[in-house]
Structure 1
Amino acid sequence: MASETTESTGPATRGRFYTEDTQFIVFQAENVLHRVPRFALVKHSEMFRDMFQLPQPGQADDGSESGVSSSVEGSSDENPIRIPECFTSFEFESLLEFIYPTGKSKTLSQEQLLAALKLAIYWQMDDVISNIEDYIARLELTPEEKLLLGKKYKIQKLLEEGFFYFISPVVYQPSLQDAENLGWDTIGQILLTRERLMTRLTAVSTSLIDL
């Protein structure tokens, strides 16, 4: 997973998602500029849809252009839409790889998928979140990885698969290391659920014997 970014310093350079098309919008993530088409952002995010529908300097109230103004946020390298500093350029590029169809979009690594998911959650891209979760669920993950990622990103499928592994009394015995990795609250939930499950199974087996 990419580390948290620090404050940007030095002049911004043009990244691989920068294009000369003047109809595109300019973003800056860390010190990297990206000029990308609006269509996917508007399609997947209500936040961007609302942003781009607002009248901008140089536009009439009906949205028609009365002249291109460099004061419009995202209109130029000098006035880009700045990605919050808690997100990295790698995370932004990973999201772009996913939402703009390319040959690589469907072969993203686990690190890229999680990076893209982080920004998709921030921008409330519900359909993108669902699609990324589907790809993550197909990865070869350990039960602990499923549980940790499920908790962190609120992925229900991973939570269920990881949790059900740990409630098996035959397969799993909790350790102090598990408590440190998963958290004491999660260990408590696992043990409580397992106890309740075993009580119900014992009751069912007893009733079957009495038949």
Structure 2
Amino acid sequence: MTDSPEEPNPYTAGLEHKPQRDDTFYYTTVVFLVEGTLFRVPRHPFIDGSDVFRQMFQLPVPDGVEADGCSDGRPLRLEFIQQNDFKQLLKVLFPHHSQPQKSSPKTFAEWRSVLKLSSMWEFESVKKLAVDHIGTMQIDPIDKIGLARDYDVQEWLVPALNELAKRKEPIGMKDADKLGMELALKVAAVRESVMSSYSGYPLQIGERQAGHIDFTNAIETMLTTLENS
């Protein structure tokens, strides 16, 4: 039994050679399912920018089986991902596809979504962009410390702890709930123990007038002690 001959394509009839796909401007799409909503986008930014997706798309697919993400009927399901977080990431990956006034994240919450997913999926260049944008915003040091620890943004940790140590209000239970009791107690100890000479007389940090004092060295020592304990 012989195979049936391939049906001629009337749109390419008469061409000397079979059409080739351009290396740059031929996009393969992928369909994602996030919280009940389908997103169909070009696949190449996920392959180029994320080790996680690159490895996922390189997994072999059995013959005769549709790959996840190839159609609306077989989308790539992103479990436990919030639709709004995913939209913010897509705004960065495809800035010209959204409405001009919504072409990129604007608020802290939106950039936090980008930081969250870019960290999870190892979009290194996107993560750097999120870090740069959030770094220019006025954020509560407690929140910034949490982000630094959750998403491994080491350049934020010491400055944010330093800002917290300068704060007039003492470290309280709400702070401890967010920081963890051990770190909260260590920061409180730094605040209370560091002495500084100011205006010709010693100033006890416990007086809560520490806005002019740099706690960086004490904080770095404290963090080193925590790492080695």
TM above 0.5, yes or no, is: yes
Query: How big is each residue's C-alpha offset from its partner over 1:168-192, in whole Å with a ceiling of 9 and x where there is no partner?
Result: 3x73422334333433222122134
Equivalent residue, structure 1, for 2:84: 90
1:80 to 75, 82, 96: 75
Q: Take 1:196 and 1:54, find their aligned partners in 2: how far apart are those partners? A: 56
Number of aligned positions between the proteins: 170
The CA distance in 2 between the partners of 1:150 and 1:71, in whole Å, is 40
1:165 correspondence with 2:170: no
Q: CA separation in 1, counterparts of 2:56 and 2:172?
A: 49
Q: Does the 8 A contact of 2:29 with 2:43 survive in 1?
A: yes
**Deviation for aligned residue 1:131:** 1.5
1:48 aligned to which of 53, 72, 95? 53
Q: Deviations over 1:22-56 (max 9, x none)?
A: 83111101100000001211111112222333444
| Distance change (3 Å), C-alpha of 1:26 and 1:149 | same
| AA aligned opposite 1:72 | A
Corresponding residue for 1:150? 148
2:186 matches 1:189:
yes
Q: Which has the larger radius of gyration?
A: 2
For 1:27 and 1:182, the matched residues in 2 are separated by: 35
Report SS of the residue matched to 1:27. Answer: strand
> Once superposed, which parts of structure 1, at least 4 consecutive aligned residues long, lie more than 6 Å away?
none
What residue number does 1:5 align with? none
Q: What are the superposed Cα offsets for residues 133-154 of structure 1, whole Å, 9 maximum, x if unpaired?
A: 1111112212232223323333
Q: Deviations over 1:61-85 (max 9, x none)?
A: xxxxxxxx7712111111011102x
RMSD of equivalent CA atoms? 2.9
Equivalent AA in structure 2 for residue 96 of structure 1: L
- Equivalence for 2:38: 33
Partner residue of 2:132 out of 131, 134, 139 = 134
Percent of residue pairs identical: 28
Normalised by the length of structure 1, the TM-score is 0.67
Q: Contact conserved, 1:28 with 1:34, CA < 8 A, in 2?
A: yes
Q: Could you tell me which amino acid in structure 2 is paired with residue 50 of structure 1?
A: Q
| SS, match of residue 167 in structure 1 | helix
| More RCO (CA 8 Å, sep 6+) | 1
Unaligned runs of 5+ in 2: 1-25, 201-229
